[in-house]
Structure 1
Amino acid sequence: MRSLFFVRKDRWLVCSECLFASSSKQQEMFAELWRRAEMAIRRSTIAHVLGASVLALTAASVAQAQDTADAEDVAALDDNIIIVSAEFRDTNLQETPLAITALTSEALESRSLDNVADVGRSVPSVTLRVASAGYGKSTQAYIRGIGQSDFNFALEPAVGFYVDDVYHASLFGSVFDLLDLERVEILRGPQGTLFGKNSIGGAVRLISQKPSNELEASVKGTYGSYERLDLRGMVNLPLIDDTLALRVSGASKQRDGYVDRVDFACANPDQAGNLQPTVTSGDCTVGTLGGESVRAGRAALRWTPDTAVEVNLTAEIMRDSSEGAADSLIHISPTTALNNYNANKLVPTYGIPFDSRFVTDPYVTYASYRDLSNGRQVPATNTMNSESFSGDVKVHLSDSVTLRSITAYQRFSGRFTQNADNSPLPIALTDNNVSFRQVTQELRLQGEALDGLLEWTTGAFYFDSKAHIRGGVSLPASGPNGIVFDQNDQVDGENKSAFVHAIVHPTDRLSVTAGVRYSDEAKTYRFDRTNQPSGTPFFAGGAFTAPEATFDRFDYKLGIDYQWTDDLMTYAQYSTGFKGGGINPRPFTPASAVPFGPETLDAYEIGLKSEFFDRMVRLNLAAYYSDYTNMQLSANGMDNLGNPSIVISNVGEATIKGLEAELTLNPAPAFVIEASGSYTDFEITDLGAAAGVSGGPTLDSKAPGTPEWKFNLGAQYTAEIDGFGSLTPRFDLYYQSRVFNEYTNNPLAAEPGYTVANARLTYDSPGEDWSLALGVTNLFNKFYYVNRFIQAGGYNFTGQPSRPREWSVTLSKDF
């Protein structure tokens, strides 16, 4: 048996068992394992030496069974190594020169994180939250002060969502369930040169479990507060040994609402004026908001006819028939328009004005979801149906060159309604019935050259989308005669791009990264709206198509990193990114339906990744500075005729500075402490055309969705009990400072800082084939608003109240 020599940092290592380690990935894997053996020797602990030897022998047997091993094999052998693919190649997290956080499926479960919006709590400089009722099934994502809150398809997300490297182009439909995931990666800072489309703020990547060649299955059930009942299951079937495997997973989630809908006239007859109750007995409750009813399924087929070809086919389906999103009235600020409407319409007709009598307990709303002025009634609903199909083909053209093709088709639709005044009076009622479909195609050619001196990736990306926004808007309090219309708008988008990315290793320790991407985008918007009940065109002249928004752009990246020791790496980089332009989606005259251009970002970052004391301490730091230009600002208000005026335009510049830290401590093998923190300084330096606009932003305005300070702390300890199994208590604490929700920084629409705690106790059986967990979220029952919103007209403020303290019991079984 011959030995295989390979270099690792500054020394040559010999592995006599590595006969079959012919690929560079395998060489890296064996090098890592061999380094563990050296660490064990330094510790002079027999148990560690034996453990490292077992790892090496296990790796050798894996190599003999499979000629090409993925880097995930390392992660399977050592839990302390986190493998990521943020640069389209599998690398150790600690050797990846990016600000990136990766959470495995086990980490997500231990923190009681149920959907992608929950994940942001554990990541510095990141805010992920479920949108307010007016924006439907959307995740509002902000990274390092840059984000997007509006679901409308005319607008682009600032943070890209990717599911198995398939780009998701809309905020709507982005409340992803964490179904059968391997891990979640969150990349901070612009990802303009590698990732599919417009990830100016960063990227959220969900990586699913792939089918394997082992027969396995699992089932999990959860019961908890508000009659919560979750069921999840998975089965992995090897259809043809080492060639074809099928993995099927499914989930069902059911939970009652936590905000009560109450009939105002029934509960408050002395304040109801001429309003008549719809119920006359009991507690006057007519329903709830915030309830969930979701079904989802996923099937993945993996075909590996030989070592050079891998084909993954995936189909996903979701049916979400949830009730209306939680929403309640926070405050009413009288304006001239509201006072006139109260005096001229509401009081004469209904005997009462729209005033603070409708502001009540935040877990109660008086929303009736009907407009008494015209008879329009809508259900309190927040639904989403989706289907996604993708094909991922990877072909090793040679030992050093790989071609990958990712083809995907997605479609989703849903309906979400909001009674924005949270009262039975005719003020504001919206009904959004939306649909979206997209086709994406990405080709990547990736390889190595010059004996590993150069790693390169090049490729092309194509995106095509078509969206419809139907339903209607009822704003009887707006304008001299009110505004009530049905809509049938259509939004089309297209993106074509090409990129080149290269990493050069002049020495074993030094790496230089460079990349460039060219993007060409176009977007059109056809407005088709009809006044109700008259049936006349909303716009003079009828339906029309706004001027097309078109633009192209080059983005760049240049970085350098140096591995000072096996456990210490520093890096510096410059990168650019952009958020695509669009068309003002809510004009009240054709003249307001104008295009706006892309936002742009120039970002500078330095970072450190380190481990100490034989990896008992892991500390990662990042500092960044960004120039943010052509900011897309939205102004909501009233024009001189009393009509709502909503305009989006490119105005202003800002600088963003920040610090991030992530710390992991392993003081004992069974004890882990995790902490992270961030500081974000967002400063507007130029308002451009927005300077001096009444009710607009100022130079002191801070970015929405972005706390200045953010921290999280988690700790867990696994106590092994002979013959009994193990008990693992875990405690998590999350803090964020004050958050504004729009650029005017209105204090009534700002959320003060708050702290939330979760706790979980897990029992694992001796064979680790089943477990029982008790979890409590919002342990100290802290109240806060997930988000706040100033409704059109500027006189009423609504918000999504936080979920109260909730408990759950989860039983899991592996087969």
Structure 2
Amino acid sequence: MAKTPTQFVRLLAAGSALALALGQTAPAFAQAAPQNAQAADDAAADTGGIKEIVVTAQFRSQKLQDTPLSITAVDASLLASRNQTDLSQIAAQAPNVTLNAMGGAYGSSLGASIRGIGQFDFNPAYEPGVGMYVDDVYYATLTGGIFDLLDLDRVEVLRGPQGTLTGRNSIGGAIKLFSKKPTDENSGTVELVYGSRQRMDVRGSANFKLADGLYGRVSGVYKHQEGYVDQLDYGCVYPNNAQGIGARPSSGQGCLIDKLGEKGYAGVRGSLRYNPNDAIDYTVIGDYTNESRTNSAEVVTSVNPAKVSSTYLCGRYCTFANFYAKGNTAPPGLSIPGPWGQVKDGYYMPNRTKFTGWGVSGNGTFKLGDGFNVQSITAYREYRQKWGTDDDFTPDLNVVGQGYNDLKFWFFSQELRLNGKVGDKIDFTLGGFYSKQKSTYFTRQDIRYIAPGLNFQFQGNDPVNADSKAVFGTVIARPIEGLTLTGGLRYTKEHKDYTFVRQNFDGSVSYFLGALNGVKAVYDGHKTDWRVSADYRFSPQILAYVTVGTGFKGGGVTARPFDAPQALNGSFGPETLTAYEVGLKTDLFDRRLRLNLSAFINDYKDIQLPLITCASLGSNAPCGARQNAGDGKIKGVELEMQANPIDGLSLDGSISYLTGNWSKIDPRVGNAYLLDDPIVTPEWKWSIGAQYRADLGKSGSLTPRIDANYVGKNNAGRLVGGGPIDYYPSYTLANARITWRNAGEDLSISAEVQNLFDKYYNPFRFAAVYSFTGTIYSQVGKPREWAITVQKKF
């Protein structure tokens, strides 16, 4: 029988009591445990216990089990054993975390939420709800966020608002990636992968010593794999169709046009570290990424027969989307220029996504004396992404809905931190942060499905400017042995302006959105966040903590207005969150069992929701505005487990429960959200993994591993016009892997199967135009696939 949140809180309390009892009633266990962290690590290594991971979530190096935050920390060895090579895969093992590579309409972007709070729309008018960081540098957009896990040391997933720590837009939490630093050794690694659908991955890294105190590291990756959704020519498959849709000229592939869901990625990273002594440690990192692939694997999953033919339902792994639009009907003869060439009667949008980006950062720590240091983090990044869309995802020439997007972006940031000590009882951090960014969003949108026969087409070339300034401080005090008190404060000031360009395809002022041309929407805001926390170490095995803190997701402007009042009056303020959390971190049985538990209540206010009517903004046009229009509460429980019950056997797992309810919804939202609706989903999420290392003596070792993860049913929203909420069905995925390593552990060969039981599932859908086009299309998860990996270390 399913348990209620109250029951889970009681279970958490019971687990805490049990752990405390273990610490208090088993004197032999408590006395045998080491009394300092280094001794504990040494003991763990000697007894086959769980190794500790050092994290920097509170601006200083702390062991994971000493940090009073809910953190999923994954080091390089665990990433490798799970064969996780891009960021979106991390969510499978992290409780209450959703990371989804978005569909074709959103380009190469990452939708992210933690504990039900995040963002899935790439548009630069909006802010992320989960802070993304690479080597302590904030990554300010969802676009390009599907990072390859190239040459990483670890990943930290911080759950809950990080308003006083990582700060900007970390209302749900933060994800921090840390690459391996250059060291004073000469070493290298080469890895080759071959697998299903002509998969070919090549990865490599090299570390070298240039001189005393000067070290370098370089790494690179290339990945390519064919897609798994067939894009078919409808006129070829149905040559005598009732719609009169003709076949394309033959390409020599029969009726196959292309394969969606292709992988095409290349990246390189180089770093130079200057570390002549204990007083200076400065690292410069540069990286470059190039991605070129077909759009995401998507298929039509629902049609309204009153609007379109049911024959447009191609199948589980095929689509008739053709990315084609007929010429204009009004005004007659209007030519349509564009990057696809000058045409008059019709044109194709690209079915491909192209992304190029690069960045450089400098991260240095300088000691000022005993207990004091200054850290400086300077960074610059820019990218450009181009992609096309077919909004209706059908071959129907009478349902026109295509888009072309070209997004340019640059970002500069500077952060300074002063870390210090006051005696042996107090640590503190004081700091400041500044960032400035600009996006230029060029788009051509053909949305004649809104009113067939009219010229509902436009092009935009919108500049979007934003800057953020913050000052912050954290104090960590240890008034008595075992007790630690933490307090933090952060003040943030933000600005954003968005200038709308709305023109016809020939460059003249748009026929139906012309009133927007040249209009500038502005958002200015500020916010103060705070956090207080107390943790107590009852024994070397048990840490309990309680924390209350706040966070926010920045305000913005309405991204897709239909007239000037919606743009000028449609700016909105930040979402805010106050989170109450209790937790327990334990290392039991000589650190062979680790259990980390947490329970939380989030008071979520001023939630940014789309409106169904814009009359309050002075507009009677179709409404495209978003406003602060809802409040609610979110509750949840999380458990993470690691165990090494016997030498060679490793187990890891997690389970999370999430629920919540609305307390207020603005009537302007209409029936898109109702008070009885769930505010967050999925309720349940779990994962389990097991591996066993069998020692083969001089022949090396053999390590089989299996992983499984479950995602409960997820809210997909209700269609325009009301009706019940639709849900993405729940699903369970399993992966298996077996690895042989030689005795010197410098050569390994692995065989793996992903989606072992060939589960068919749809993680995301696009239904925004269903009332116009009669179609819904959805992402399709990867089918079962295999791969062989060979790795050599030097």
| 1:454-465 alignment runs, 5 A limit | 454-465=426-437
Query: Structure 1 residues 223 and 669 mapped into 2: Cα distance closer, same or farther (>3 Å)?
Result: same
| 1:357 and 2:311 are equivalent in the alignment | yes
SS in 2 for 1:786: coil
| Pick aligned residue for 1:497 from 457, 470, 479 | 470
Instruction: Give the conservation status (yes or no) of the 8 Å contact 2:49–2:644.
Output: no
C-alpha distance in 2 between matches for 1:360 and 1:411: 39
Which residue among 742, 752, 756 is the counterpart of 2:733? Answer: 756
Take 1:383 and 1:749, find their aligned partners in 2: how far apart are those partners? 32
Q: Secondary structure of the residue that 1:213 maps to in structure 2?
A: coil
Contact 2:462 2:499 in 1 (8 A): yes
> 2:586 & 2:560 partners in 1: Cα distance?
49
How much has 1:641 moved relative to structure 2? 12
Q: Which amino acid aligns with 2:240?
A: D
Q: Distance in 1 between matches of 2:174 and 2:605?
A: 20
* Residue identity in the other structure for 2:588: F
**Residue from 207, 232, 235 that aligns with 1:262:** 232
Work out which structure has the larger RCO, using CA pairs closer than 8 Å and 6 or more positions apart in sequence: 2
Q: Match of 2:20?
A: none
Partner of 2:581: 605
Q: For residue 781 of structure 1, what is the amino acid of its counterpart?
A: D
- SS in structure 1 at match of 2:300: strand
Shift of 1:133: 1.1
What residue in structure 1 maps to residue 341 of structure 2?
Answer: none
Within a 5 Å distance, the mapping from 1:144-183 to structure 2 comes to: 144-183=115-154
What is the match of residue 16 of structure 2? none
CA distance in 1, matches of 2:263, 2:726: 26
In structure 2, what is the equivalent of residue 788 of structure 1?
A: 765
1:703-745: per-residue Cα shift (whole Å, max 9, x none)?
46x3110000000000001111001000000001101134779
Q: CA deviation at 1:540?
A: 3.4
**AA of the residue aligned to 2:665:** L
1:534–1:466 distance in 2 versus 1, CA, 3 Å: closer
- Partner-residue secondary structure (3-state), 1:174: coil
Matches within 5 A, 1:313-332: 313-332=284-303
CA RMSD of aligned residues (A): 2.3
**Equivalence for 1:82:** 53
Amino acid at match of 2:464: V
User: Partner of 1:269: helix, strand, or coil?
Assistant: coil
Of 613, 616, 629 in structure 2, the residue corresponding to residue 651 of structure 1 is 629
Specify the SS of the correspondent of 2:353.
coil
- The aligned amino acid for 1:678 is S
Q: Structure 2 CA distance, aligned partners of 1:765 and 1:229?
A: 24
Cα distance per residue 1:206-261 (max 9 Å; x no partner): 000000000001100100011000000111110013x0001000000011111111
Normalising by structure 2, we get a TM-score of: 0.89
| TM-score of the two chains, using structure 1 as the length reference | 0.87
In 1, the alpha carbon distance for the partners of 2:248 and 2:619 equals 36
The CA deviation at 1:373 is 3.6
Matched, 1:136 2:104: no
CA distance in 2, matches of 1:36, 1:793: 57
Query: 1: CA distance between counterparts of 2:491 and 2:717?
Result: 32
Cα distance, 1:536 vs structure 2: 2.9
Residue 415 of structure 1 is matched in structure 2 by 386
Look up the SS of the partner of 2:126 in the other structure.
Answer: coil
Q: Match of 1:734?
A: 709
Whether 2:560 is the aligned partner of 1:555: answer no
Q: CA deviation at 1:682?
A: 2.0
Q: Is the 8 A contact 2:718 2:726 kept in 1?
A: no
What whole-Å deviation, never above 9, does each CA across 1:36-67 have from its counterpart, x for those lacking one?
66x68xxxxxxx8xx48xxxxxxxxxxxxxxx
| Compared CA separation, residues 657 and 284, structure 1 to 2 (3 A) | same
Q: 1:535 to 1:213 in 2, by over 3 A?
A: same
Q: Which amino acid is 1:597 matched to? A: G
2:258 pairs with 1:287: yes
1:725 to 688, 696, 700: 700
User: Which deviates more from structure 2 when the two are superposed, residues 630-639 or residues 357-366?
Assistant: 630-639
- Equivalent of residue 630 in structure 1, options 585, 590, 606: 606
Identical amino acids, percent of aligned pairs: 36
- The alpha-carbon deviation at position 482 of structure 1 amounts to 4.5
SS state of the match for residue 531, structure 1?
coil
Q: Is 1:298–2:272 an aligned residue pair?
A: no
State the AA in 1 paired with 2:64: L
Cα deviation, residue 35, structure 1: 4.2
SS at match of 1:723: helix
Structure 1 counterpart SS, 2:58: coil
Distance 1:326 1:636 in 2: 30
Mapped contact 2:515–2:564 kept (Cα < 8 A):
no
Q: State the 1:411 CA deviation.
A: 0.3
SS of residue paired to 1:34: helix
Aligned to 2:406: 433
Answer yes or no: is the 8 Å Cα contact 1:644–1:792 preserved in 2.
no
Structure 1, unpaired ranges of 5+: 1-8, 11-28, 41-47, 53-76, 343-353
Q: Distance in 1 between matches of 2:281 and 2:725?
A: 54
State the alpha-carbon separation in 2 of the partners of residues 648 and 380 from structure 1: 29
Amino acid across the alignment from 2:323 = Y
- Relative distance call for 1:635 and 1:271 in structure 2 (3 A) is farther
For 1:748 and 1:220, the matched residues in 2 are separated by 46
**Quick one: structure 1 residues 516 and 120, their matched pair in 2 at CA, closer, same or farther if it must change by over 3 Å?**
same
Looking at structure 2, the residues matched to 749 and 484 of structure 1 have their Cα atoms a distance apart, in angstroms, of 31
Specify the alignment match of 1:774 in structure 2: 751
Deviation at 1:583, TM superposition (A): 0.4
Aligned residue for 1:473? 445
Deviation at 1:196, TM superposition (A): 4.2
Task: Give the aligned residue type for 2:698.
Answer: G
Partner of 2:155: 184
**C-alpha distance in 1 between matches for 2:208 and 2:214:** 9
Bigger mean CA offset, 738-747 vs 660-669: 738-747
Other structure's SS at 2:764 match: strand
Deviation digits for residues 409-449 of structure 1 (CA, Å, limit 9, x no counterpart): 00011112111212222421111110111000000000111
Matched, 1:276 2:246: yes
Counterpart AA for 2:673? P
The superposition leaves residues 739-796 of structure 1 with CA deviations (integer Å, 9 ceiling, x where unpaired) of 1134779768521111000010001111000100001100000000121121235332
Closer/same/farther in 2, CA of residues 743 and 580 from structure 1, 3 Å limit: farther
The answer (yes or no) to whether the contact 2:161–2:173 under 8 Å persists in 1 is yes
Deviation at 1:637, TM superposition (A): 9.4
Q: Counterpart amino acid of 2:309?
A: D
Deviation at 1:294, TM superposition (A): 1.1
- Cα distance in 1, alignment partners of residues 732 and 596 from structure 2: 24
The 1:36–1:444 alpha-carbon spacing in structure 2 relative to 1, beyond 3 Å, is: closer
The match for 2:19 is: none
Give the counterpart letter for 1:760 in structure 2: R
Q: Give the C-alpha shift of residue 402 in structure 1.
A: 0.6
Distance 1:747 1:362, change over 3 A: farther
Cα deviation, 1:583-625, whole Å, max 9, x if unaligned, reads 0000111111120111000100000001111111111100000
Contact 1:373 1:476 in 2 (8 A): no
| In the alignment, structure 1 residue 109 sits paired with structure 2 residue 80 | yes
595-604 or 286-295, which deviates more: 286-295
- Please state how far the C-alpha of 1:30 moved relative to its aligned partner: 10
How many pairs are equivalent? Answer: 733
* Residue of structure 1 equivalent to 2:518: 544
Which one of 214, 217, 221 corresponds to residue 251 of structure 1? 221
CA distance in 2, matches of 1:35, 1:808: 38
